[in-house]
Amino acid sequence: MGRSDALLQKMTLEEKIGQLNMVAASRVVTGPGELRDLQEGIRTGRIGNLLNLWGADETRAVQRLAVEESGLGIPLLMGLDVIHGHHTIFPVSLAEACQFAPDLWEKTARVAAEEAAEDGVALTFAPMLDVARDPRWGRIIESPGEDTWVASRMAAAKTRGFQGRDLAAPNSLAATAKHLCAYGAVTAGREYASAEVSERTLHETYLPPFAESVRAGVAAIMPAFIDVSGAPMTANAKLLQGWLRGIVGFEGVLISDYNAVAELLNHGVAADLVEAAALALNAGVDIDMTSGAYIQCLPEALDRGLVTMATIDASVRRVLELKERLGLFDDPYRRGSPPAQAARGPDRRELARDAARKAIVLLSNRTAVLPLAPKIKRLAIVGPLAAAPGEMLGSWASAGKPEDVVSILEGLKAALPQCQIDHAAGVDIDGQEIGGIAAAIDLCASAEVVVLCLGESAGMSGEAASRTDLGLPGRQRALAEAILDLGKPVVVTLSSGRPLTAPWLFERADAVLATWFLGHEAGHAVADVLTGTFNPTGRLPLSWPRDVGQVPIFYNELPSGRPYAPGVHYSSTYLDLPPTPQFPFGHGLSYSRFALSDLRCKPTRVKAGDTIEVSLAVHNESPLAGEATLFLFARDPVASIPRPLLELKGVQKAVLAAGERTEVTWRLPIKDLSFVGANFEPVLEPGRFEIHVGQSADPSRLLSCAVELMT
Ligand code: BGC
- Report CA(258)–ligand 1 centroid distance (Å): 6
d(CA 202, CA 204): 6
The set of protein residues with a Cβ atom below 6 angstroms from ligand 1 is 51, 81, 125, 178, 257-258, 463
Q: What is the CA radius of gyration of the chain?
A: 26
Nearest to 543 by CA among 579, 516, 495, 507: 579
Nearest alpha-carbon partner for 180 in 127, 136, 138: 127
Distance 287 CA to ligand 1 centre (A): 14
> Which residue from 223, 306, 304, 235 is spatially nearest to 267, judged by alpha carbons?
235
Weakly modelled stretches of the chain, pLDDT under 70: 27-35, 338-346
Cα-Cα-Cα-Cα dihedral sign, residues 509, 510, 514, 517: negative
How many Å lie between the centroid of ligand 1 and the Cα of residue 270? Answer: 22
User: Are the beta carbons of 387 and 345 closer than 8 angstroms?
Assistant: no
| pLDDT score, position 340 | 53
Beta strands in 569-656 (DSSP E): 594-602, 605-606, 611-620, 626-635, 647-656
CA 126 to ligand 1: nearest atom: 10
75 neighbors 328 (Cβ within 8 angstroms): yes
Give exposure, 296-308, as e/b (b: 16+ Cβ within 10 Å). Answer: bbbbbbbeeebbe
617 CA distance to ligand 1 centroid (A)? 45
Q: Identify whether the C-beta of residue 262 lies closer than 8 Å to the C-beta of residue 269.
A: no
What are the tens digits of pLDDT across the range 551-597? 999 999 999 999 999 999 999 999 999 999 999 999 999 999 999 99
User: How many other C-beta atoms lie within 10 A of the C-beta of residue 431?
Assistant: 13
Cis omega before residue 603 (within 30°)? yes
Q: How many whole angstroms from 254 Cα to the centroid of ligand 1?
A: 14
**Helix, coil or strand: residue 703:** strand
The per-residue pLDDT for 31 is 52
- pLDDT on residue 32: 56
Active-site option among 257, 286, 354, 636:
257
Tell which atom from ligand 1 comes closest to the C-alpha of 128.
9
pLDDT in tens, 307-324: 999 999 999 999 999 999
- Cα 240 to Cα 102, 205, 211, 250, 487: the distances in Å are 27, 17, 12, 9, 58
Which atom of ligand 1 lies at the shortest distance from residue 176's CA? Answer: 10
Buried b (16+ CB within 10 A) or exposed e, 584-604: bbbbbbbbbebebeebbbeee
Q: What is the distance in A from the centroid of ligand 1 to the CA of 611?
A: 41
The protein residue whose alpha carbon is closest to atom 5 in ligand 1 is 258
433 CB-near residues (< 8 Å, 6+ apart)? 427, 475
Ligand 1 atom nearest 125 alpha carbon: 10
Classify residue 681 as exposed, middle or buried by CB count within 10 Å of its CB (0-12, 13-18, 19+).
exposed
Cβ atoms < 10 Å from Cβ of 395 = 23
**CA 29 to CA 35: how far, in whole Å?**
7
Residue 666, phi-psi category: left (phi > 0), alpha (psi -120 to 50), beta (remainder):
beta
Q: How far is CA 131 from the centre of its chain?
A: 9
With CA atoms as reference, report the closest residue to 530 among 446, 413, 426, 625.
413
Q: What are phi and psi of 115, to 5 degrees?
A: -70, -40
Q: β-strand 687-694 against 626-635: which pairing, if any?
A: antiparallel
Query: By C-alpha distance, which of 225, 282, 227, 229 is closest to 259?
Result: 225
Q: Which of 50, 51, 253, 463 to mutate to test the pocket of ligand 1 (most atoms within 8 A of CB)?
A: 463
Predicted local confidence at residue 1, as pLDDT = 77
DSSP string, 169-213: STT--B-EEEEETTGGG-GGG-TT--B---HHHIIIIISHHHHHH
Distances (CA, A) of 541 to 132, 502, 548: 10, 19, 18
Residues β-bridged to residue 186: none
CA diameter of the chain: 79
Best residue among 23, 51, 77, 125 to mutate for probing ligand 1's pocket (most ligand atoms within 8 Å of CB) is: 125
Peptide bond into 179 cis (omega under 30): yes
Quote the ligand 1 centre to 257 CA distance (angstroms): 6
Tell me the CA end-to-end span of the chain in Å, nearest whole number. 52
pLDDT at 28: 42
For 271-312, the pLDDT digits (tens) are 999 999 999 999 999 999 999 999 999 999 999 999 999 999
Residues with Cβ < 8 Å from 612, sequence gap 6 or more? Answer: 601, 602, 603, 606, 667, 668, 670, 707
Nearest CA, atom 11, ligand 1: 258
Residue 291 vs residues 233, 261, 297, 299, 594: alpha-carbon distances, Å: 16, 6, 11, 15, 54
Question: Of 52, 81, 396, which is best to mutate to test ligand 1, by the most ligand atoms within 8 angstroms of its C-beta?
Answer: 81
Provide the whole-model pTM. Answer: 0.97
The CA distance from 96 to 143, in Å, is: 9
> Is there a catalytic annotation at residue 257?
yes
Among protein residues, the one with the nearest Cα to ligand 1's atom 7 is 258
